[in-house]
Amino acid sequence: MRNPFFGLPGASGSFYVEKFGASIEEHVGQSIGRTGPGSNTKSTKNEKSWWDKRRERMTEVIEERAEQAQKKAKADSRLAYEDYINNRLAGQYRLHNFLTEEVQEDKNILNMPVFHSTDVAAFMAAAYSNILNKPGKSGKF
């Protein structure tokens, strides 16, 4: 026979088995606790419940994932900044070479006689730096 009050608040939480006999002496009843037969109830009281263990584990997992996300975001930010700096330096290098060096003969676009003069290249470099140094201007054309 199953205890109908098993699992209700205030009930002992045991499973009862009764065998009814012809007399009171033949009546046998047994009770099995919710922890199972042969278990020590003192050790189970000191253990954390499944829900507590689960909550703690989930908290640890969330913290680990947050740390991983922060590390990944920091690494991505660092890579993006390095890429930005490299692109900017490469652009400055190309502009500097274009404005100050003599034009190579194998490039058809810059093969015009105007660019062969060092005075014109210096003038273009000065004009470009003046555009960038004006207050309130972003250097955009």
Question: How high is the pLDDT of residue 141?
Answer: 47
Indicate the domain borders of the chain: 1-47
Question: How high is the pLDDT of residue 60?
Answer: 97
Dist. CA 112–CA 5, nearest whole Å:
100
Dist. CA 123–CA 99, nearest whole Å:
9
3-class DSSP state of 16: strand
Question: How high is the pLDDT of residue 65?
Answer: 98
- The pTM (predicted TM-score) of the whole model is 0.38
